[in-house]
Amino acid sequence: MDTPKIPAPKDEGEKQVLDKLVAIRDQLQLRKLDRTTYVRTQDVMVLYDQVLEQVKRLNEIRGGKATEEIQENRVDRVVDSCFQLLSLFFMTIGRNNEAPAAYALTSTIKRLLDHLTEADLFSAKDLESMSQTLEHLSDIVNTTPDTQSAPYLETLIAKRIERCRASLTALQKKIEDIAVPLRPTAEKLVSVLRQMAVINTKSKVDRTNFPADIHRYVAQLRDISDSRKDGHFVDEDGNKLKGSDKVVALMERCQLYTGIILEKNGTFPDKWRPVYDVLIGIRNELDKLSLTQAWSLRETDLYDFQRQLDKIDESRVDGNWVDDEGQPAELYVQRTLLYLIRRCYGYIYHLMLSSEPVSEALLPIYNQLQTLKRCLVEVKKCGVSSVRELYPYSMKLNSIDNMRVDGKFMVGEDIPEGQGSVTTLLADCFDLNYELRVAAEASEESNDSTPGSRTPDV
């Protein structure tokens, strides 16, 4: 936000708005850092209303001009920071299915689509996931009750969704330009290139096995290359397939990248090491969060990662990083750093999608119930022969059920968001437990009625 590229506002009214928004953003960041208490809905909504009030005032100062007509200044960046934080706070309190929660996701999807377009390296699965997410976000925005307090935010999110859809359509068109029989080959090449990038950016590269790991994929590339006829991919009749030239170009990219990383042998230029180490650190932290998300992630934690990545991404000049002398990074450095940035944004996207519509105050109960449900499902698969085997599950379910007050899970005097999700999950567990109990009782009765099943009297 403080970069010289983003000038300070000149209008006195905008300066006042900026000061108030900075103060609100600071409050949001302090609340984000406070782990002593869970985030309460009322605390978030107070700050949300204050941001909307300042945005409304900003629009009045600008005379209702469209954002595109106004040169971006520092106040716009602070508005974005506030909405980004508020969006993650809405996820944290369990209000995932409301328009404000969609803001952070649209930002991440936009970044991912921009990078996929720039790298020209993507699979149908990448696009399918984002297409479904955009549809879901569009439904959220369209079904949010009309309010006079937040038309700006809803309109802004709707426009962001449309821009993402336009980028998505352009990428889907590129896949459609490849013949259906050739698409699996293109998908395989994308997978190979990504797997080599994973090997090349391991935190601790084993240089002894490094060439062997890469040569596995070299063999796959050779097999794909050998499947061509006269340098082209052809059908059964020998006719050149649609999109053959694109897939050949992709294969050559893979071969070029393979040669470069074998030459580098897991090393990275010292000049670019600081940026590389930061990105490796972010990737590793996000990877850990993806494994322990249910128990350790507060969605607002993602804000700092996003801002670090945005800063590195936006430091590029004409799509590449430049050193202190203005020299652009070599191809190997550029592709490696871009891969890491895309990987980090991909983790953030996954973590946001995995966010449950439950307040963090109820997450411990919700996570326990999810674990219980998984255990009961496994018990059902294996079968149960005695009611006694179900006692631990029954006791745990009853202890959780007894935590409710008038049918609700309370935290102090508050009723946290996500009551419906927790109650539904609890009911599912009780239903499963009941089914297993009936099955166990039937099994016991069957055993008792089997001749010779009773122990003879001594």
Q: CA–CA separation, 100 vs 87, rounded Å? A: 5
Alpha-carbon dihedral angle through residues 132, 135, 141, 143, given to the nearest 10 degrees: -110
Q: CA–CA separation, 185 vs 191, rounded Å? A: 10
Tokens of 47: 């700050």
- Of 55-69, 187-201, 268-282, 309-323, the one with minimum mean pLDDT is 55-69
Q: What is the pLDDT of residue 346?
A: 95
Q: Whose CA is closest to 316, among 280, 275, 277, 281?
A: 275
Quote the mean pLDDT of the chain: 88
Tokens of 323: 């050193």
Query: Where are the chain's structural domains?
Result: 180-264, 287-354, 363-449
Q: Residue 1 has what DSSP assignment?
A: -
Q: If you count them, how many residues does the chain have?
A: 458
Residue whose token pair is 């991404």: 313
Which amino acid makes up residue 427? A
For 420-429, b where at least 16 C-beta lie within 10 A, e where not — what string? ebbbebbebb
For 22-55, b where at least 16 C-beta lie within 10 A, e where not — what string? bebbebbeebbeeeeebbbbebbeebbebbbebb
Q: CA–CA separation, 117 vs 62, rounded Å? A: 33
Residue 352, pLDDT above cutoff 80: yes
Tokens of 156: 């802004």
Residue 62: φ, ψ to 5° = -85, 5
Contacts of 397 (CB under 8 A, 6+ apart): 372, 426, 429, 430, 433
Three-state DSSP class for residue 265: coil
**170 burial type by CB count under 10 A (0-12 exposed, 13-18 middle, 19+ buried):** exposed
Q: Whose CA is closest to 360, among 102, 98, 85, 88?
A: 88
Hey, which residues does 405 pair with through a beta bridge?
408
CA angle 121, 122, 128 (to 5 degrees): 165
Residue whose token pair is 């999109």: 243
Residue 345, pLDDT above cutoff 70: yes
- What's the half-sphere exposure (Cβ side, CA atoms, 13 Å) at 438? 6
Q: What's this model's pTM, rounded to 2 decimal places?
A: 0.88
- What is the secondary structure of 46-100 as a DSSP string? HHHHHHHHHHHHHHHHTTT--GGGS---HHHHHHHHHHHHHHHHHHHTT-TTSHH
Give the H/E segment covering residue 292.
Answer: helix 273-296
For the segment 136-141, the average pLDDT, to the nearest whole number, is: 92
Whether the Cβ atoms of residue 189 and residue 247 lie closer than 8 Å to each other: yes
Q: Whose CA is closest to 103, among 30, 171, 159, 25?
A: 159
- Of 107-121, 249-263, 288-302, the one with minimum mean pLDDT is 288-302
The pLDDT tens digits for 371-400 are 999 999 999 998 888 889 899 999 999 999
- Band the pLDDT of 458: cuts 50, 70, 90: very low
- Band the pLDDT of 208: cuts 50, 70, 90: low
Q: Whose CA is closest to 367, among 415, 434, 296?
A: 296
Q: What is the pLDDT of residue 16?
A: 94
Q: What is the pLDDT of residue 66?
A: 55
The pLDDT tens digits for 43-101 are 999 999 999 999 999 988 888 665 555 678 899 999 999 999 999 999 999 999 999 99
Q: What percent of the chain has pLDDT over 90?
A: 63
Tokens of 258: 């393979």
The pLDDT tens digits for 170-204 are 999 999 999 999 999 999 999 999 998 888 888 66
Q: What is the pLDDT of residue 148?
A: 46
Q: Whose CA is closest to 120, among 45, 193, 220?
A: 193
Alpha-carbon dihedral angle through residues 183, 189, 192, 193, given to the nearest 10 degrees: -130
What are the C-alpha distances in Å from 24 to residues 328, 370, 422? 39, 36, 32
Q: What is the pLDDT of residue 378?
A: 93
Q: 243 in the Ramachandran plot: left (φ > 0), alpha (ψ -120 to 50) or beta?
A: left
Q: Which residue has the higher pLDDT, 144 or 320?
A: 320
Residue 266: φ, ψ to 5° = 85, 5
Q: What percent of the chain has pLDDT over 70?
A: 91
Q: CA–CA separation, 100 vs 84, rounded Å? A: 9
For the segment 140-165, the average pLDDT, to the nearest whole number, is: 80
CA 12, distance to chain mean position in Å, is 39
- Of 11-15, 68-72, 226-230, the one with minimum mean pLDDT is 68-72
Three-state DSSP class for residue 322: strand
Residue 107, pLDDT above cutoff 80: yes
The pLDDT tens digits for 409-456 are 998 888 999 999 999 999 999 999 999 999 888 887 777 666 554 444
